[in-house]
Homo-oligomer: A and B are copies of this chain.
Amino acid sequence: MSLIEQPKAQFAQIADLLRDRIEKGTYAPGSLMPSEPELATELGVSRVTVNRAIALLRAAGHVKVRRGSGTVVRRLPMIRRDAQRRYANREQGTGAGEVEIRSMNLRSRTAYREIGRTKPPEEVAAALELKPREDALVRRRILYADDEPTQTADTFFPWAMVKSSSLVNEHTGLDGGSYAVLASLGIGPVRFTEDITVRLATDEEQRLLDVEPTQPVFRIWHVAYAQGDRPVGVTIHVMPGHLWSLHYGWDDLPKKAGH
């Protein structure tokens, strides 16, 4: 609200204005915003300018457009993902993927896109230390909270390791998800690493995750290691950026003694 406002593009100012109205509840979560022609008239600008302002709100995840029907204000319950607890809870009766959703009292659902033997992407093969023509088992799924997609998760296991296990079925028969099955095979993970990057959603992700073209998504590259630093699984998570807060915690490493 400074009076010395630097001149700012109209569409940016309009975006600020609309964001204010959303935050103040003038446009309530889940409700429709006024149509673009209406806003254009109200604000005395062309529809293109309004459209451009709304594009900013879309990229930030504040609104979602339904073609032919209107622009809706998103509900924004941010989901907290605690990496350590997530996997530590895997004996508690839910797959790791559903921990966060249930803890927020949302209905959790998993849809499997693919389960089967496959030639893994090179990067995955390298991380799993597969030999040149070795295959992998892939489990591709989409997770929903109250029927809103919250992430895609594609997990790869060395085929030879898991081909006779229940991981080739949709229902693994064991509470606790994939890693509980690995444990029952004697190759339970004991260490994990994750690498996080952010990028714009691809076309496919826009469809699968119901996000807008210019919206950023997290990409988590998760690797599980069994005893002896033997890699036993790689999972690639893609998650709408506006939905998630990623939490990590660790104790300070002991100072190196000798050496």
Contact = CB atoms under 8 A, between A and B. Distances in A.
A198 B218 contact: yes
Chain A interface residue count: which class? 35 or more
A31 interface: no
Interface stretch (A135-143, A153-161, A249-257): A249-257
Given A195-B246, A195-B247, A246-B195, A214 B59 contact: yes
A178 to B, nearest CB: 14
B214 A198 contact: no
B192 A252 contact: yes
B56 A214 contact: yes
Interface string A117-137: 000000000000000000000
A244 B218 CA distance: 12
A251 B191 contact: yes
B191 A249 contact: yes
A67 to B, nearest CB: 13
Contacts of A80: 195
A193 B248 contact: yes
A88 interface: yes
A250 B84 contact: yes
A87 B252 contact: yes
A249 B195 CA distance: 9
Given A214-B56, A216-B241, A241-B216, A253 B88 contact: yes
A45 interface: no
A190 interface: yes
A107 to B, nearest CB: 24
A43 interface: no
Contacts of A213: 12, 56
Given A88-B252, A91-B255, A216-B216, A247 B198 contact: no
Contacts of A189: 252
A242 B218 CA distance: 12
A170 interface: no
The 8 closest A-B pairs by CB, nearest first: A216-B216, A88-B253, A198-B241, A193-B249, A196-B246, A248-B248, A190-B252, A198-B198
9 contacts: A83-B248, A83-B250, A190-B251, A195-B248, A197-B246, A198-B198, A198-B242, A214-B214, A250-B250
Given A193-B249, A197-B241, A248-B248, 7 more contacts: A59-B200, A59-B214, A78-B197, A189-B252, A197-B245, A198-B216, A198-B218
